[in-house]
Amino acid sequence: MVLDGGEEVTAAPVAPLATLGLSPQKYLISIARIEPDNNILTLVEAFSRKPRGAKLVVLGKLEPGNAYHAAVKSAECDEIVFPGAIYDKATVQTLRFHARAYCHGHMVGGTNPSLVESLWCGNAVLAHRNAFNQWTAGTEQFFFSGTDECERMIERILIDDIAVARAGRMARLRAVTDFVWADVLSTYERELAALGGHRLEPAKTEPTSIPSARQA
């Protein structure tokens, strides 16, 4: 499985939220290509079934003449925001950090970088239920397989402060366990060396000084 790393995010400015009419912890966010295999339509339909008192922000490019994009737009309610594709890293990080939950509908691929970044932000995660996402996101997150289950998870995320806080703590723990860049790069280095028939020598460390009885 391909691994990705990241760095911990503990703060982000709130100013970029105002331009989209957002408030911290009052929205969910999806950051993905708007394609069927990312379940964007499922997320929009589930969220739009009733008023939420919160918003769903869907980052991604919508193209005229694209039938799937048209279906997504036709399913929206007035609590859904389509800012388009945003490529400024700082803005995307701010939007992710202040979200109540990160929505990840991807069904294919390995360890997704955007999902890993959400863990480093301490986001609760709402993800499609598959082996890739479940391994990456870890326990205590929220998973769905269809529109009905997606709606139930959205409802729980919006009302269950304890579960969301626990999911955020577990997201950070998951990040430091398997997605620290130094560890990830070391893993790649070992694998590439093994493929080339080489053996990496353990890193040299200074011997530990053990105090004598007198010193102690």
Domains of the chain, earliest start first: 15-176 (3.40.50.2000)
- pLDDT value for 206: 43
- pLDDT value for 7: 85
- pLDDT value for 169: 98
Asked whether the beta carbons of 55 and 157 are under 8 A apart, the reply is no
- pLDDT value for 50: 98
- pLDDT value for 139: 87
Global pTM reads 0.83
- pLDDT value for 109: 77
State which residues of the chain have pLDDT below 70: 1-5, 181-216
- pLDDT value for 110: 77
